């Protein structure tokens, strides 16, 4: 899960776990790691062996993710069997402490998502009571013929066909995973319909932007006009998509004006001690006017990425500027950030998306 964990870099209070096999015989593992309630469920589970195996593997991954998170963040070492993962009425996994001693509420503050496919399970846990998470994975080796016709709208299929031909198969699965990840984070899965989660934009650099439509908007009207950013990654034969968002403060795309205001404020902070006589304004140029050096630009770019929780190809932008021996205005930088957060950079600046 390294590729994925690196992407979701906005919070240290996050833990992913990826398992390809159970650490022992299923019944032995079940006895060791499951709570009494989970053991009852495991024993009475009427399902094909594959489903039982993946359910147990998912529990292993989930418990490991939660344990590591609690240990890392709170110095709490809990036995697996005292962490119970029970579904809410819609199937969303919830974390509870079921040990004997009274325990800090932190355990049940962990938000968790589980996915399994083709003998592999992943779990993503975040220690934040206001957070929702969703993760999904698919195996690239289990290609379903023409699943795009059912899974995607004509607009989404157009997005796919605009990608380089050698990437379409992989990105079709990543887009599918993005829909499932959003459905899981919202807690109702894809019950509103496959097309109710609409892929609005794909950035090959690892981001998929998803909006809600139709039945999904009926379920979650607060998402009207908002876009959710889903991270996506590939590791060997699997693709993953995952989302983390704060309830009530959806990580949504900021407007161009908001981006510009943020950049002006940030530049104001950075240049505070630099004896620059005039106020910083959108036309101010970083290098010739504001006296930026390369390292200052790198510090600024890092701050922008952290602020928006989104990796952007600043290295390529700075290299391009160096090669062309030109300067960069705050207005252009605004357009660059806007473009890479999903905007259209309508302001007409020359900055284009760097892939």
Residues binding ligand COA (CB under 6 A): 55, 58, 90-93, 114-117, 136, 180, 183-184, 187-191
The distance of closest approach from Cβ of residue 57 to ligand COA in the complex, given in angstroms and rounded to an integer, is 9
Both structure tokens of 153: 């709208």
Q: Using CA atoms, how far apart are residues 297 and 277, in angstroms rounded to an integer?
A: 20
For residue 289, what is the DSSP state?
Answer: T
Closest approach, Cβ 197 to ligand COA, in A, equals 10
Q: Which is nearer to ligand COA, 177 or 229 (CB)?
A: 177
- Which CB, 58 or 343, lies closer to ligand COA? 58
Nearer to ligand COA, 92 or 174 (CB): 92
Whole-number Å distance between alpha carbons of 9 and 302? 12
**Number of Cα atoms under 13 Å in the Cβ half of residue 71:** 11
d(CA 228, CA 232): 13
- CA 74, CA 103: separation in Å to the nearest integer? 12
Closest approach of Cβ 323 to ligand COA, in Å? 44
| Least distance CB 280 / ligand COA (angstroms) | 45
Give me the least distance between CB of 148 and ligand COA, in Å please: 15
The 8-class DSSP code of residue 181 comes to H
Residue 26 CB, shortest distance to ligand COA, in Å, is: 14
**3 state DSSP class of 235:** strand
CB 329 within 8 A of CB 288: no
- Taking CB atoms within 8 Å and a gap of at least 24, the contacts of 284-291 are 284/329, 284/330, 285/327, 285/328, 285/329, 286/327, 286/328, 286/329, 286/330, 286/333, 287/327, 287/328, 288/327, 289/327
Least distance in Å: CB of 198 to ligand COA? 16
d(CA 279, CA 326): 22
Q: What is the spatial distance between Cα 157 and Cα 151, in angstroms, rounded to a whole number?
A: 9
Q: Kindly tell me which of 184 and 340 has the beta carbon lying closer to ligand COA.
A: 184
41 vs 307, beta carbon nearer ligand COA: 41
Task: Give CA–CA dist 270/204, Å, rounded.
Answer: 31
Q: Which is nearer to ligand COA, 241 or 334 (CB)?
A: 241
For residue 344, the number of C-alpha atoms closer than 13 Å in the C-beta half-sphere is 2
Closer residue to ligand COA, CB minimum distance, 59 or 206: 59
Closest distance to ligand COA from the beta carbon of 61 (Å): 10
CB nearer to ligand COA: give 91 or 291.
91
As measured in angstroms, the least distance from the Cβ of 89 to ligand COA is 9
Nearer to ligand COA, 188 or 307 (CB): 188
Yes or no: say if 309 and 265 are a contact pair by the CB < 8 Å rule: no
Answer for the pair 35, 83: CB distance below 8 angstroms, yes or no.
Answer: yes
């Amino acid at each position: 899960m390294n590729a994925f964990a690196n992407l979701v870099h906005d919070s240290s209070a996050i833990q992913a776990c990826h398992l390809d096999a159970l650490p022992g015989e299923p019944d032995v593992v079940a006895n060791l790691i499951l709570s009494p309630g989970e053991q009852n469920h495991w024993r009475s589970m009427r399902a094909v062996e594959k489903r039982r195996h993946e359910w147990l593997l998912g529990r292993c991954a989930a418990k490991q993710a939660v344990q590591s998170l609690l240990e890392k963040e709170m110095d709490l070492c809990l036995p697996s069997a005292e962490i119970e993962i029970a579904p809410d009425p819609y199937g969303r996994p919830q974390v509870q402490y079921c040990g004997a001693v009274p325990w800090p509420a932190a355990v049940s503050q962990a938000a968790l998502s589980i996915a399994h496919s083709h003998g592999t399970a992943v779990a993503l846990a975040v220690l934040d009571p206001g957070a929702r998470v969703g993760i999904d994975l698919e195996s690239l080796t289990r290609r379903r013929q023409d699943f795009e016709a059912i899974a995607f709208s004509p607009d989404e299929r157009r997005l796919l066909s605009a990608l380089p031909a050698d990437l379409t198969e992989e990105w079709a699965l990543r887009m599918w995973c993005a829909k499932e990840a959003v459905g899981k984070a919202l807690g109702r899965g894809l019950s509103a319909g496959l097309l109710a989660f609409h892929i609005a934009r794909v950035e090959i650099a690892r981001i998929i932007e998803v909006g809600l439509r139709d039945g999904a908007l009926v379920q979650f009207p607060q998402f009207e006009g908002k876009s959710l950013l889903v991270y996506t990654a590939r590791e060997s034969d699997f693709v993953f998509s995952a989302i983390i968002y704060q309830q009530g403060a959806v990580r949504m795309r900021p407007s161009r004006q908001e981006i510009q205001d943020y950049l002006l404020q940030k530049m104001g902070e950075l240049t505070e001690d630099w004896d620059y006589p005039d106020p910083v304004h959108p036309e101010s140029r970083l290098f010739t006017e504001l006296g930026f050096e390369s390292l200052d630009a790198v510090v600024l770019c890092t701050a922008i990425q952290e602020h928006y929780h989104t990796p952007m190809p600043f290295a390529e932008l700075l290299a391009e500027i160096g090669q062309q021996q030109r300067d960069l205005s705050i207005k252009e930088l605004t357009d660059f950030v806007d473009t890479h957060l999903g905007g259209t950079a309508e302001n007409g600046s020359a900055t284009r998306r760097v892939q």
